[in-house]
Amino acid sequence: MQAHDGMYIDGEWRPAAGPEKIEVRNPADGTVIATVPAGGEQDVAAAVRAARAAFPGWAATPPAERAARLGALRDALEARRDEIAETVTAELGSPLAFSHAVHASVPIAVCASYAKLAADYPFEEEVGNSRVFHEPVGVVGAITPWNYPLHQIVAKVAPALAAGCTVVLKPAEDTPLVAQLFAEAVHEAGLPAGVFNLVTGVGTVAGQALAVQDGVDLVSFTGSTAVGRQIGAAAGAAVKRFALELGGKSANVILPGANLTKAVKVGVANVMSNSGQTCSAWTRMLVHADHYDEAVQLAAASVAKYVPGDPKDEGTRIGPVVNAKQRERVTGYISQGVKDGATLVAGGPDAPEGHEQGCYVQPTVFAGVTPEMTIAQEEIFGPVLSILKYEDVEDAVRIANGTVYGLAGAVWSEDEEEAVAFARRLDTGQVDINGGRFNPLAPFGGYKQSGIGRELGRHGLGEYLQTKSLQF
């Protein structure tokens, strides 16, 4: 695939300071598809300088003009829709149909939402005898993961730009190519030089440098809890703002009387999509004891439709995981589940038949999972579903809330009010009621160790603003 041998800094592609490179691999077969520069401290510092220099001008740009640039960015992404989908399929391994429907479409919709919000947002308000201005926080350091590579970029960059902030992005080393496409779209959209800057590189070098740069006012991170913890600690020590979108272990609670067939089918699809590499995935299915065996049978039938295949083939519903390390991590968890006494209903730790080469994992369903087991507590980030049994509603609430995470969840009931009442008792940032659709305007973010802050919609924009009050 085409790749830029440079960093996008101050409105142009510049050679990196050092010679280090990142090889981008296709996880379906392990081949190297492109090489991009691995930036270091010097590249990060140059990018932050460019962002600082561009900040006063962009912050003073009228919101209507910022909205127009975001509209142009949306159109530039739209024009690259097919290229985006093909690129994400090549570097992440997600099936092409899913890459089109989600990896390309969602960021385009989110970018459009911020074009509108930039125009409509009340950046000024009257509070008693005060006039309150909502001003941009400054230079944003954005560090993003590979699982929804473009979505996670746009979910940070679009609201930051709408707010009047300037940005330095360090994307995941596994998925730098779609980040380069995004930088091309920014350029085409006519954003002033330095407003958006891209430094590709590895987390422990470029990511680390960005997280501790003096010129960065806010660090926005999405990824693992382990790295998020370090970033929050460093930002706190520097009295710098930070936002963390971390992991999850979300519960899909099927209440007695719910449409079991539908709830299980949608629940399995939720976990298997993107090979289970979704922070908000409903990886714990909670079923009442009376319906448990039936739910396990339904889940086995549903998961059988997920046959691993080449993500480029049209009919493929599940591809590989992102890389060999992730495959080892996921299969390690599957072995742990077996060791802890859970029952394999489908899948297992071995490579799927005929896919010994790429980074494939068998779609796996465990029954007989108890709440304290590792597979019921830790984020696996692979195509692995655990089905747990509950005795009554109190038991279901306790199990659902019984992890360190609280990112998402689902509740199914024949009575919507009952589902809402149950959802109100969950310590989690989002709950889908009876299969409710993803809403790109709804605040997204975690309770507990799933994170700090919210992304998307007005709440996402608010993260990039600070207030100034003038009294009269």
Just list the catalytic residues. 245, 279
For Mg ion, the closer of residues 201 and 309 by Cβ is 201
Should residue 149 be labelled a site residue for ligand NAP when binding is judged by CB under 6 A? no
Should residue 121 be labelled a site residue for ligand NAP when binding is judged by CB under 6 A? no
d(CA 172, CA 179) in angstroms, rounded, equals: 9
- 308 forms beta bridges with 318
Consecutive H or E run containing 277: none
Position of minimal CB gap to ligand NAP = 203
Should residue 197 be labelled a site residue for ligand NAP when binding is judged by CB under 6 A? no
Q: Which residues from 38-97 bind ligand NAP, rule CB under 6 A?
A: none
DSSP state of 365: E
CB-based burial, 161-195: b 16+ in 10 Å, e otherwise? bbbbbbbbbbbbbbbbbbbbbbbbbbbebebeebb
User: Which of 215, 247, 352, 368 lies at the binding interface for ligand NAP (CB under 6 A)?
Assistant: 247
359 token code pair: 């980074």
Should residue 203 be labelled a site residue for ligand NAP when binding is judged by CB under 6 A? yes
Find which of Mg ion, ligand NAP, none residue 381 binds, CB within 5 to 8 Å per kind.
Answer: ligand NAP
d(CA 263, CA 170) in angstroms, rounded, equals: 38
For Mg ion, the closer of residues 230 and 259 by Cβ is 230
For ligand NAP, the closer of residues 63 and 332 by Cβ is 332
User: Which of 136, 159, 223, 445 lies at the binding interface for ligand NAP (CB under 6 A)?
Assistant: 223
Interface segment toward ligand NAP; rule CB under 6 A; list 156-164, 203-211, 433-441, 464-472: 203-211
Find which of ligand NAP, Mg ion, none residue 230 binds, CB within 5 to 8 Å per kind.
Answer: ligand NAP
For Mg ion, the closer of residues 18 and 203 by Cβ is 203
* Helix ranges restricted to H, 11-148: 41-59, 63-79, 81-92, 96-98, 105-120
Find which of Mg ion, ligand NAP, none residue 176 binds, CB within 5 to 8 Å per kind.
Answer: none
d(CA 203, CA 174) in angstroms, rounded, equals: 11
Residue in the block written with tokens 């309770």:
447
Consecutive H or E run containing 472: none
Interface segment toward ligand NAP; rule CB under 6 A; list 58-66, 92-100, 140-148, 418-426: 140-148
**SS3 at position 77:** helix
Should residue 384 be labelled a site residue for ligand NAP when binding is judged by CB under 6 A? no
Q: Which residues from 388-447 bind ligand NAP, rule CB under 6 A?
A: none
Find which of Mg ion, ligand NAP, none residue 211 binds, CB within 5 to 8 Å per kind.
Answer: ligand NAP
Position of minimal CB gap to Mg ion = 203
Burial of 392 (0-12, 13-18, 19+ CB in 10 A): exposed
For ligand NAP, the closer of residues 230 and 336 by Cβ is 230
Find which of Mg ion, ligand NAP, none residue 460 binds, CB within 5 to 8 Å per kind.
Answer: none
Instruction: Render 291-321 in DSSP notation, one character per residue.
Output: GHHHHHHHHHHHHTT--B--TTSTT-SB---
Give the strand pairing for 241-245 and 218-222. parallel
d(CA 458, CA 462) in angstroms, rounded, equals: 6
Q: Which residues bind Mg ion (CB under 5 A)?
A: 203
Nearest Cα residue to 344 out of 321, 360, 362? 362
For ligand NAP, the closer of residues 333 and 366 by Cβ is 333
User: Which of 100, 329, 458, 459 lies at the binding interface for ligand NAP (CB under 6 A)?
Assistant: 329
* Nearest approach, Cβ of residue 226 and ligand NAP (Å): 7
How do the residues of the chain divide into helix, strand and coil, expressed in percent and rounded to 5? 45, 20, 35
Site residues, ligand NAP (CB under 6 A): 143-147, 170, 172-174, 202-204, 207-208, 211, 222-224, 227, 230-231, 245-247, 279, 326, 329, 379, 381
